[in-house]
Amino acid sequence: MTALPLSTQVAIVGAGPSGLLLGQLLHRAGVDAVIIERQSANYVLARIRAGVLEQVTMDLLDEAGVGSRMHQEGLLHGGFDLLFRQQRHRIDLHGLTGGQQVMVYGQTEVTRDLMQARSQAGLPTVYDAQEVQIHDFDQQRPRVSWRIGGRQHQLQCDFIAGCDGFHGVCRASVPPQSITEYEKVYPFGWLGLLADTRPVHHELIYVNSPRGFALCSQRSSTRSRYYLQVPLSDKVEQWSDQAFWDELRLRLDPQAREQLHTGPSLEKSIAPLRSFVAEPMRWGRLMLAGDAAHIVPPTGAKGLNLAASDVKYLSQALIEYYREGSQAGIDHYSDLCLRRIWRAERFSWWFTSLMHRFPENGEIGQKLQEAELDYLVHSESALRSVAENYVGLPLDFGLKKPGP
């Protein structure tokens, strides 16, 4: 184990993909960072999460020097299918966006690649940290404290990066009067099932059905990931594998039913859906990134990608501070992130509202959704808007560009 310093330039709380990616980018730029994580490394790796990477995220993983396995094993997708009224319609991402694509590569694999790179570089990472607390982030020398095995530890730093997720300590440590939180909790969840079966289709299928939303996704050519919209009151124990497969068939079109390969689940869980944003994302020398600052419903595949763009902006700001002595990037970090975040929140909310069954809207709600989907698949401008948002807007989208 690498000896832990008593002080560092950046203390990163959270060893999920955002914290690990930030640590890797800072390391390559010569900025010292220590990562503190309350869970074990095995627990972090066991979490099943998103699997669709935008081009911005792919480029950032390459910049961090961890993109090799992604390019070897990831699946490039140039489109996806929308299924409604028992018919599928392909959204041609590649054609509608001038050649852009997305990469299907599980978040677990991204985390594994980043963990391995950090371990090989011998960089300090603390796992199983108990009672993690942050202190003095409104002063020049903040601190992070934690306990391991009954022993108290403390780390001084210049900045704290809060990458510790929605339930983490960093956002919770900000005085309530200094933060505004916006939240919408949806009245349903996603029941997800992972199985070592051949995917039903080579691209993703998003399903609008009178029985509820479904998603046919994948992690590789031999591993599938499927989701069903279920009431929040449902428990995983209520859903046998057979019940899951039976319900999925009822929501698919005839061709997909014939091509569906079933098998025992490797993992099964129910995830609630919410839209959430905390403003601002910086207080003194504490900056939040990823799920610590925002949550999107997974319909638009934005969660991991938004975290990656936060990390890009934050790493640039910190590197600029240490190389040039400029605090401009840090001062503008929150505003820069939030413009991109709210665009992604808007798209994820719209796509969720379009594809899911809302019982309170009755039959007219289903008819209105189908009418909007029918318009969408027959309008090139509407298709282009969906494709542009799905593949991810450029990091400088909407920013003022210098004149000639």
Closest CA to 33 of 14, 61, 59, 47: 14
Cβ atoms of 266 and 196 closer than 8 Å: yes
CA distance 135 to 386: 43
Name residues whose C-beta falls within 8 Å of residue 258's C-beta, 6 or more positions apart in sequence: none
Cβ atoms of 125 and 37 closer than 8 Å: yes
**3-class secondary structure, 377:** helix
346's tokens: 């808007």
CA distance 22 to 9: 13
Residue 302 annotated as catalytic: yes
DSSP letter string over 288-351? E-GGGTEE--GGGS-HHHHHHHHHHHHHHHHHHHHHH---HHHHHHHHHHHHHHHHHHHHHHHH
Given 201, 294, 302, 356, the catalytic residue: 302
Given 298, 313, 321, 356, the catalytic residue: 298
CA distance 191 to 242: 14
For 99-135, letters b (16+ CB in 10 Å) and e give ebbbbbbbbbbbbbbbbebbeeeebbbbbebeebebe
Given 186, 226, 313, 390, the catalytic residue: 390
Residue 268 annotated as catalytic: no
Given 17, 77, 226, 312, the catalytic residue: 77
Q: How many residues does the chain have?
A: 404
Residue 313 annotated as catalytic: no
Closest CA to 142 of 318, 350, 300, 286: 286
Cβ atoms of 11 and 22 closer than 8 Å: no
Residue 298 annotated as catalytic: yes
Q: Residues 339, 345, 348, 351: is their CA dihedral positive or negative?
A: negative
Given 124, 142, 186, 206, the catalytic residue: 206
Q: Which residues are catalytic?
A: 77, 206, 298, 302, 390
